[in-house]
Structure 1
């Protein structure tokens, strides 16, 4: 049943034309964010009963006809800095469009954040509905992109600076995980998250490329005080090595002061942080590595521990915490995690290691035990 629904989704003009080429009706299709203004003849010619058109531009006579057939039509919403019906994940170039010539504040990402802050303060129900539609569309796009992939999450703090040993270690981890055949997914922001996505991006490149990239990025070590300089340094790396490896970032405009990083080749950016966090961890089916972080990373540890504790998603997924001192002394999440796991099946799926270099081996060991 789910496969049939997926097969009835149309995300592009090519898919629209192919559907009409192989059938005689649009009945039952879900057409998502496709510009159909040049397909008026087809829309007038083919039955469209029970079809749903989500954010599809079309000529007035075509819209009238498909409604008369019994289709639902959700028209595009004007004057928005984002598409609430979008069918695909974002790319870095899309979110940072214009960054080479203009400051970050003029990019689509920054404009979406400004809209979010304004409409959230207003409490407008229409705006909250648009945010929910957008986030649901992004969840669908993530499911489609990651279907069948072995996904490993890499979590960690946004304060991990470029040019530090910790940042370089997180990048090496992302590269190694990707080279082992796993798909790296992070929270999509700066710091440890960017480093892991950078490593995944460097995976198909010669080893020396990552070292050179780290040197280039170090000239803008943080997104403060200038997101513009920070982002431009990342795009300089991408320009020098344009054929990097794939990974996914899942950031949020809820923390919009933290920009998304440009090394996640596919970005699922949400308005609702709770939806984002749950989806990020639920999709990490091959396990999660937790690098040092603060409140956000602690939240992610126990967001992941809860379904492992109750086995609500099936067998528990591996959890590897990195930096013994951080997780036992500074923020003692490890003792609590151990106590939770003591009489549960997740006990054999958690590990604490001292260094980033030990993380992948620990993850592999826990996965082999599944």
Structure 2
């Protein structure tokens, strides 16, 4: 005869035997004598993560087409790279795009400044860091995040392309995550432009001469990267890809509306 162990359901989980807690969630919630340790437990973090997604989606949902610009926070204001960022932000705004950055100083500030001065929408998505990094003064819409992965989602979800100015580990992290999303088809028609041939040229050569040659990526993956020194060319790459994507989407919608190639109207 089998002995039935104690069992308790907790949402989607089933706990049995010694894993059944002595108190319920309601008891622990209503017990005023408990410590505040629960604030730092993983289940509560899930709620914070959810809240960050909701906050980000709510703040950015009505943005016009946007381009995310990456780049170093350490770029001096009197440098050629900073001026390049200003010109890029201005050109993107004049082409009708909102400009999204990490909201910090350096190249991020430069792109926000250019967009703001051109009358465009300037967005900053900040991140909580061990050292203080305030939102730059040229941001019109700013959202601060605790979690990098939530912030990265916002960089991608509300942009139709990326432009990377010279930057460090953070820029490289965002750059290769973007390339991975494009390579694996998680995002489509999503141009990735590197602005600054003298800075990025060695990296692109390594991608072509090592990764592709040794079969670590497919030969066509090299074409996911565009490299230029020309701000106008960088913006045109974005515009062309965006236009092609819209035409394909509208063509597909027309086919579905006419009843061919689909199961009926969406």
Contact 1:309 1:341 in 2 (8 A): no
Of 96, 121, 137, 2:54 maps to 137
Indicate the residue corresponding to 1:46 in structure 2: none
Q: 2:113 aligns to what?
A: 198
Q: Is the 8 A contact 1:170 1:196 kept in 2?
A: yes
Counterpart of 2:184 in structure 1 is: 310
Structure 1 runs (4+) greater than 3 angstroms displaced: 122-131, 337-341, 355-358, 361-370
Displacement of 1:334 after TM fit?
Answer: 5.9
- Per the alignment, residue 136 of structure 2 pairs with 261
TM-score normalized by structure 2?
A: 0.66
Say whether 1:342 aligns with 2:209.
no
Decide whether aligned partners of structure 1 residues 129 and 350 sit closer, same or farther in structure 2, where only a CA change above 3 A counts: closer
Q: 1:341 to 1:369 in 2, by over 3 A?
A: farther
2:65–2:158 Cα contact (<8 Å) kept? no
CA distance in 1, matches of 2:123, 2:180: 23
Bigger Cα Rg: 2
**Whole-Å separation in 1 of the counterparts to 2:79 and 2:58:** 34
Helix, strand or coil at the partner of 1:250 = strand
- CA RMSD in angstroms, aligned pairs only: 2.9
Shift of residue 203, structure 1, vs aligned partner: 0.5
Preserved contact between residue 322 and residue 354 of structure 1 (Cα < 8 Å): yes
Corresponding residue for 1:182?
97
Shift of 1:322: 1.2
Q: 1:327 aligns with which of 191, 196, 200?
A: 200
Give the aligned partner of residue 360 of structure 1.
235
Distance in 1 between residues matched to 2:207 and 2:87, nearest whole Å: 29
**Alpha carbons 1:138, 1:270 under 8 Å: kept:** no
Match of 1:173 in 2: 88
- After superposition, the Cα gap between the structure-2 partners of 1:322 and 1:129, relative to the gap in structure 1 and judged at 3 Å, is same
- Runs of 5+ unmatched residues, structure 1: 1-118, 205-244
Q: Aligned pair in 2 of structure 1 residues 343, 359: CA closer, same or farther (>3 Å)?
A: closer
Contact 2:195/2:227 (CA < 8 Å) preserved in 1? yes
Question: Which whole-Å deviations, capped at 9, do the CAs of 1:94-143 have from their partners, x for residues lacking one?
Answer: xxxxxxxxxxxxxxxxxxxxxxxxx99x9455873563244123222144
SS of 2:75's partner is coil
CA distance in 1, matches of 2:150, 2:198: 31
Equivalent pair of 1:270/1:276 in contact (CA under 8 Å): yes
Which gives a bigger RCO, structure 1 or 2 (Cα 8 Å, sep 6+)? Answer: 2
Specify which structure has the higher proportion of strand: 2
- Within 1, Cα distance between the matches of 2:72 and 2:233? 19
Q: Secondary structure at the match of 2:54?
A: helix
The alignment status of 1:272 with 2:187, answered yes or no, reads no
In the alignment of these two chains, the number of paired residues is: 203
